[in-house]
């Protein structure tokens, strides 16, 4: 809903690129590429699904989602590679069913390691486009396009770090409320606790635009004063006895994530994660925050 980054996608592509570079020959271009297929099924809970501008209007919801993807690794040289990923995904919400959606996405990531060696840093350039259609929320239908640049490094065979910058552009549906632009900077750390267990965490700071919702407009007049676009949001009418209003405002957002990935039988894994988000409007002292929890099962076809 709020245009926050998805670190699991970055982890998947990063792992594929790492394998791609690890298997590179000493010199020359690889003769064959590899294509992988997988499914990611997830159960999630969001404590502030409506991104309410005041705490007493916060609504929570549970969801289930499934994504099917194909990823292809292309070895370009002795120290560079490309990963292309295409995916289809569906999400179903329990309480606010109009938020349920179907989507498609495509991602391309290019990585180069200027110096040979396992612990030598790499540089990655990536772009992604997502398209999505909601069950009954025209203001949210649209697309997201993003571009990122990052630097990463293995310090040991257990510790991996990465940091980067990115730009996201979202095109929304009716009313322009979800026409969002954001710049972001992030840092991530993976630590292999055991051979089959990896802990990971990330911090992301965003500067641009976010969407806040409010039902009792008299409770926070500055939201109306400083908003750049607004529209009724009937998705949450059942919680308030009427449609709250969604506002697009300039804001700064922080997102923190912790998770653990547990390999099961070699081609599947269990992924548990928690994230906290906090968004503050540039004008009018408005803010929202919340937490999201997830349990995911990832299966990769051999």
CA distance 266 to 299: 9
Is 1 contained in some domain?
no
Q: Return the sign of the alpha-carbon dihedral for residues 251, 233, 291, 59.
A: positive
CA distance 177 to 139: 7
Q: Using one digit for the tens of pLDDT, what is the confidence trace for 66-95?
A: 999 999 999 999 899 999 999 999 999 999
Is 216 contained in some domain?
yes
Is 224 contained in some domain?
yes
Is 267 contained in some domain?
yes
Q: Please name the residues in contact with 55: beta carbons below 8 A apart, sequence gap of 6 or more.
A: none
We report the CATH number of the domain holding residue 43 as: 2.40.160.40
Burial of 173 (0-12, 13-18, 19+ CB in 10 A): middle
Containing 41, the helix (H) or strand (E) segment is strand 34-46
Could you identify the residue written with the tokens 């297929």? 37
pLDDT of res. 23: 38
Is 268 contained in some domain?
yes
Q: Using one digit for the tens of pLDDT, what is the confidence trace for 239-267?
A: 999 999 999 999 999 999 999 999 998 89
How many CB atoms lie under 10 A from the CB of residue 101? Answer: 20
What predicted TM-score, i.e. pTM, was given to this entire model?
0.86
**47 in Cβ contact with 38 (< 8 Å):** no
Is 147 contained in some domain?
yes
Is 67 contained in some domain?
yes
Is 11 contained in some domain?
yes
**Which of 12-16, 202-206, 222-226, 270-274 is predicted least confidently?**
12-16
What is the total count of domains within the chain?
1
Entry field: residues in the chain: 302
CA distance 118 to 23: 11
With bands split at pLDDT 50, 70 and 90, how would you rate the model's confidence at 124?
very high
**152 in Cβ contact with 159 (< 8 Å):** no
Question: For the CA atoms of the chain, what is the radius of gyration?
Answer: 20
Residues spanned by the domain of 85: 7-301
């Amino acid at each position: 809903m709020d245009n926050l980054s998805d670190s699991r996608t970055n982890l998947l592509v990063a792992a594929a690129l790492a394998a791609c570079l690890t298997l590179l020959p000493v010199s020359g271009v690889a003769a064959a590429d590899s294509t992988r297929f997988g499914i990611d099924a997830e159960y999630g809970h969001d404590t502030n699904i409506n991104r309410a501008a005041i705490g007493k209007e916060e609504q929570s919801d549970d969801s289930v989602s499934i994504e099917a993807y194909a990823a292809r690794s292309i070895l370009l040289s002795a120290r560079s590679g490309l990963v292309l990923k295409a995916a289809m995904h569906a999400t179903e919400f329990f309480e606010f069913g109009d938020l349920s959606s179907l989507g498609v996405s495509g991602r391309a990531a290019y990585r180069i390691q200027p110096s040979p060696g396992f612990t030598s840093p790499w540089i990655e350039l990536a772009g992604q486009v997502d398209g999505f259609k909601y069950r009954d929320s025209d203001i949210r239908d649209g697309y997201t396009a993003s571009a990122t640049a990052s630097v990463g490094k293995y310090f040991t065979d257990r510790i991996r770090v990465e940091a980067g910058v990115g730009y996201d552009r979202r095109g929304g549906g009716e009313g322009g409320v979800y026409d969002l632009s954001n710049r972001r900077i992030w840092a991530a750390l993976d630590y292999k606790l055991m051979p089959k267990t990896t802990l990971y965490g990330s911090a992301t700071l965003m500067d641009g635009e976010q969407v806040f919702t409010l039902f009792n407009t008299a409770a926070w007049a500055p939201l109306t004063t400083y908003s750049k676009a607004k529209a009724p949001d009937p998705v949450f009418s059942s919680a308030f006895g009427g449609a709250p209003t969604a506002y697009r405002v300039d804001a700064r957002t922080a997102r923190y994530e912790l998770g653990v990935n547990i390999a099961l039988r070699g081609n599947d894994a269990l992924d548990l994660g928690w994230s906290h988000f906090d968004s503050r409007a540039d004008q009018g002292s408005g803010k929202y925050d919340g937490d999201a929890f997830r349990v995911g099962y990832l299966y990769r076809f051999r």
